[in-house]
Amino acid sequence: MAKPDFFDEIKEGLKAQALVSPDTYVSPEVLREFYADIVKPPPVPPAGPRPAVPPGGSARPGVQSVRQTPPAPAPNMRSSSAAPAGKSPREMTWDELANAVAACHGCKLCRTRTNTVFGDGDPKARLMFLGEAPGADEDRQGLPFVGRAGELLTRMICAMQFNRAEVFIANTVKCRPPNNRNPEPDETEACRPFIMRQISLIRPQVIVMLGAVPLRLLFPDVKEGITRTRGHWMDYHGIKVMPTFHPAYLLRNPAAKADVWKDLQQVMAVFGKKHVPSPRRR
Ligand code: URA
């Protein structure tokens, strides 16, 4: 049977939610999605030159101006044998960085990993997704978001009228924490220089932060959690950042897909993309 797409999932989530709590408030915007027929997104045109960041950039109304202090200096990585000796991640090229990640023994996760997970997609992507840490499937394959949460992320990306090859998907931490626990502070700190360098080399127009772990990493001074920050633009060194729920959370709480869909539509708008509901139901 064909897999439901992201819009079907939103509808199913809302139906389920309405059964358990009939008086749940559903905004008109979500209701429109709920009743709208699904119009398949048009095929994505081949990647062209990057448009300039929209005028006003992160100073647009609605953008929460959370400016970050410059990234912390790289901690000592005990072994990055494939990287040029003495070079900090801040100075590395993309390939050097990939080699440094593959050879990293900077924290205890190196002892239990099968593969490091550098990231996947277009190193020149305009849109980047930042997750938490690899799980069992990702550890096995060395690729991010290839398990169940990854399937959902792929459908979210398609619903946004992008495909996986034209965005970049990375994790805050490059090695799997045992038993899928959350990465510990020393682990995120050890990996911080890698993700910082990836962000500065890619220099995407927008980063979608998936869940609380990337929120803590990029915005350590923000006290609110993901539930409060989601849907509100943030600014990371001039890059627009949209925090939203992690796909694994959506697998457990399908009703939250409607919120995530609202967040993703804000991101789509930055790229001039718009979900068009069926004319019949509009
Ligand atoms: N969850 C994540 O945060 N990242 C992955 O790569 C897979 C699941």
Q: Which atom of ligand 1 is nearest to the CA of 211?
A: 3
152 CA distance to ligand 1 centroid (A)?
A: 11
Mean predicted lDDT score pLDDT of the chain: 82
User: What pLDDT shows up at residue 61?
Assistant: 33
Which range, 9-13, 30-34, 74-78, 80-84, has the best average confidence (pLDDT)? Answer: 9-13
CB 263 within 8 A of CB 250: no
User: Does residue 119 line the site of ligand 1, with CB under 6 A?
Assistant: no
- What is the tens place of the pLDDT at every residue in 123-150? 999 999 999 999 999 999 999 999 999 9
Measure Cα distances from 6 to 38, 191, 211, 216, 220 in Å.
10, 31, 18, 27, 31
Kindly report the number of other CB atoms within 10 A of residue 34's CB atom: 17
User: Does residue 259 line the site of ligand 1, with CB under 6 A?
Assistant: no
This prediction has a pTM of 0.77
Which residues have CB under 8 Å from 214's CB, separation 6+? 130, 131, 132, 172, 243
Q: Which atom of ligand 1 is nearest to the CA of 138?
A: 6
What are the two backbone dihedrals, phi and then psi, of residue 276, each rounded to the nearest 5 degrees? -105, 110
> For residue 3, which amino acid is it?
K
CB 259 within 8 A of CB 231: yes
User: Does residue 263 line the site of ligand 1, with CB under 6 A?
Assistant: no
Most informative mutation of 128, 157, 171 for ligand 1 (most atoms within 8 A of CB)? 171
Confidence check: pLDDT of 33 > 50: no
Q: Which atom of ligand 1 is nearest to the CA of 213?
A: 3
User: In 3-state terms, the chain is what percent helix, strand and coil (to 5)?
Assistant: 40, 10, 50
- What is the tens place of the pLDDT at every residue in 223-268? 999 999 999 999 999 999 999 999 999 999 999 999 999 999 999 9
Distance between CA atoms of 160 and 264, rounded to whole angstroms? 7
83 CA distance to ligand 1 centroid (A)?
A: 25
For ligand 1, atom 7, name the residue with the nearest CA: 145
